[in-house]
Structure 1
């Protein structure tokens, strides 16, 4: 890996561009190759310039909205096309591979390998300029990793390389003599292609992203280069098209958009929950008493998020969630507490409500109930009922504490352990203020709790 190369001056021997940025997007290390391409010196780059400042405007937007979130969430990306800009305003295209170092869920460093893409563009021009029947041309076409389709002026295919066979599913024998515009292009794209043919014959190379049809009818996301072929007299004799499969890239872009929407959705939900916690806490606690209670409730919410992130999925283990709610106030390994029950994986959408309910019970027990005295004990247990539609039944039982007095009003704690929990989980709660301690039970459908409803 790049960051294991020592000493740093060895980076200058690499034929590609190398760059390291910190978590704030500031470039900390570059090599001689990249600085030469950018026509910048080490002093003006390393430690002084942000990575977005060497990008064109379009690439800068793409980096901030797509690539940086991708590094944070996935840890890497490969073969992404970007345009870099020199101080004099000139630009050049590159392909970029990157890998991130993440610490506590934050981007701390990212390493970039950068390659100029002139070679690929030169290859495209060479395909257009050389006679199709030459040995060199044939060798390039046959060995190319990109699908290459060559046709005459009427679009009848006379060259179809192995990469085209792999990409589109047709053998060379199946397609020779057929019109490629009818074989591969969706009908709705034909008018747009016909309108651009005069520009191509005049010398323009069309480059675009679109989709083409596989033999089985499946649509394939491709990047296309379409140009005219000319003979030694510069007379137009046909067309050559090169296709690159960009399905993986498109799926990555779609995934990025989905993740960004999900982040936005979760952020709004968390802000709503924080607002409710602040409002409900403020109704009961005032002055210096407000902040400790509010902070503890936020820590409960944060612990749920930590568990969700560390689980690597959208499900949370119920026992791990329950233990996390004890840790801010009591030692869960103490003999005063007992947790037991089968393995249950809660859906993210209900884990916050269940976690906060348990935290409220722990808080009240530590302040007024069984955990406020050395003789007290709390048992939290759960079971899954049998039947076609099983339920989760969870019970909180306090014993050995001070005499229990039923509350005179309904505060935030009652809401969290009652109505709010019931609404979120489609469940029911019951509480009994028995002489020997509080008994609280919660029952809800497993299908709702596990996200299978």
Structure 2
């Protein structure tokens, strides 16, 4: 952190000096050194000043009357755990420092006491002020780190709960559609891998959104190997929310699974085209298409399997309307359309 950045973050100083224009003298000198200052003199009500939370208090020996000591004690008593307010006490040379220190340590347990005798050179005073304002800055940085760590723990807990809920849901749906233990294991593993791929992509992207192209490529790449590209993907670069990316990946996985079992990917020459586009008219609409070709003649099943039910429900929930699923003789097709705003991160809307 450079000097200018530190200076902009430093707290201000409250000067309590009732006599001999000491408050004006100290304040004027500190302002020359670009330090923020407020002063309080004899008879001033300290409560409004302390309510503004000064980063450091500089107080002369003459200001240490019972009322001032009590007001500062009340202020220190409500400080958070991270806060240890620096207080510079400017004493007369003949003052009983030991006795005063003992009294103030008992009265102000939540403070950082520093004693200087007068006369004090301007350089010594400004060094003491600056060094303790830096201490105060470090205290605030520690506070910010603790709060950020707490936020991260809460966010991690939230994400883990969401992931576990997703895994539980995937297992229950897979179990209902499985006819053997082996099929259950294979299908469940594949769906977890699809879920894992999206979470990896989001993590690497460093945020709550991810490239749709990356989601699609991660999902289809295990099925395009040895130089063959039986599943082709094409569409504009677009950033989608983590929820949208996860849903689309899981739906693509289900469509791929069905194509391997019954559709275009069940034969050597069959192919699949995955495409998406953005249509801009009165509003921006997003369209996602899955088209199979070169596979066996398609016949509409007498009842919907798990994959079809999941795709219909998941895309319907994400897009707001169910997808158009067609069992065309020359190839299975699935098309879904929705306002672009339903799948993009909130800040882009």
Q: Is the shorter-chain TM-score for this pair beyond 0.5, marking a shared fold?
A: yes
| Distance change (3 Å), C-alpha of 1:185 and 1:393 | same
Paired positions, count: 288
The question of 1:364 aligning with 2:258 is answered yes
Q: Secondary structure at the match of 2:323?
A: strand
Q: Counterpart of 2:145?
A: 252
| Distance change (3 Å), C-alpha of 1:311 and 1:198 | closer
Q: Counterpart of 1:423?
A: 317
Q: Secondary structure at the match of 1:417?
A: helix
> Is this contact kept in 2: 1:200–1:227, CA < 8 A?
no
Distance 2:32 2:185 in 1: 66
> Is this contact kept in 1: 2:16–2:39, CA < 8 A?
no
> Is this contact kept in 2: 1:149–1:157, CA < 8 A?
no
Q: Secondary structure at the match of 1:398?
A: strand
1:328-348, Cα deviation, whole Å (9 max, x unpaired): 334396242221111110011
| Distance change (3 Å), C-alpha of 1:180 and 1:389 | farther
The question of 1:288 aligning with 2:147 is answered no
| Distance change (3 Å), C-alpha of 1:293 and 1:199 | same
| Distance change (3 Å), C-alpha of 1:199 and 1:148 | closer
> Is this contact kept in 2: 1:337–1:379, CA < 8 A?
yes
In the alignment, structure 2 segments of 5+ residues that lack a partner are 1-9, 55-65, 105-112, 115-128
> Is this contact kept in 2: 1:380–1:394, CA < 8 A?
yes
How far 1:327 sits from its partner (Å)? 2.6
Q: Counterpart of 1:125?
A: none
The question of 1:313 aligning with 2:207 is answered yes
The question of 1:152 aligning with 2:17 is answered yes
The question of 1:328 aligning with 2:222 is answered yes
How far 1:186 sits from its partner (Å)? 1.4
Structural mapping, 1:257-406, within 5 Å: 257-285=150-178, 286-331=180-225, 334-406=228-300
TM-score by length of 2: 0.70
| Distance change (3 Å), C-alpha of 1:287 and 1:357 | same
Q: Counterpart of 1:197?
A: 69
1:224 to 85, 98, 106: 85
> Is this contact kept in 2: 1:342–1:383, CA < 8 A?
yes
1:76-127, Cα deviation, whole Å (9 max, x unpaired): xxxxxxxxxxxxxxxxxxxxxxxxxxxxxxxxxxxxxxxxxxxxxxxxxxxx
How far 1:222 sits from its partner (Å)? 6.6
How far 1:177 sits from its partner (Å)? 5.1
1:128-174, Cα deviation, whole Å (9 max, x unpaired): xxxxxxxxxxxxxxxxx886554336998353464897564x4xxx7
Structural mapping, 1:403-418, within 5 Å: 403-418=297-312
| Distance change (3 Å), C-alpha of 1:390 and 1:157 | same
Distance 2:288 2:315 in 1: 13
> Is this contact kept in 1: 2:319–2:336, CA < 8 A?
no
Distance 1:167 1:349 in 2: 49
> Is this contact kept in 2: 1:151–1:180, CA < 8 A?
no
Distance 1:164 1:424 in 2: 61
How far 1:227 sits from its partner (Å)? 6.0
How far 1:248 sits from its partner (Å)? 3.9
State the structure with more CA Rg. 2
> Is this contact kept in 2: 1:317–1:346, CA < 8 A?
yes
Distance 2:34 2:316 in 1: 55
Structure in which a larger fraction of residues adopt helix: 2
Q: Counterpart of 2:95?
A: 233
| Distance change (3 Å), C-alpha of 1:404 and 1:200 | closer
Q: Counterpart of 1:214?
A: none
Q: Secondary structure at the match of 2:308?
A: helix
More deviation in 252-261 or 270-279?
A: 252-261
Q: Counterpart of 1:449?
A: 343
Q: Which has the higher contact order (CA 8 A, sep 6+)?
A: 2
Distance 2:174 2:307 in 1: 9
More deviation in 329-338 or 406-415?
A: 329-338
Q: Secondary structure at the match of 1:385?
A: strand
In the alignment, structure 1 segments of 5+ residues that lack a partner are 1-144, 211-220
| Distance change (3 Å), C-alpha of 1:164 and 1:411 | farther
> Is this contact kept in 1: 2:224–2:230, CA < 8 A?
no
Structure in which a larger fraction of residues adopt strand: 1
Q: Secondary structure at the match of 1:397?
A: strand
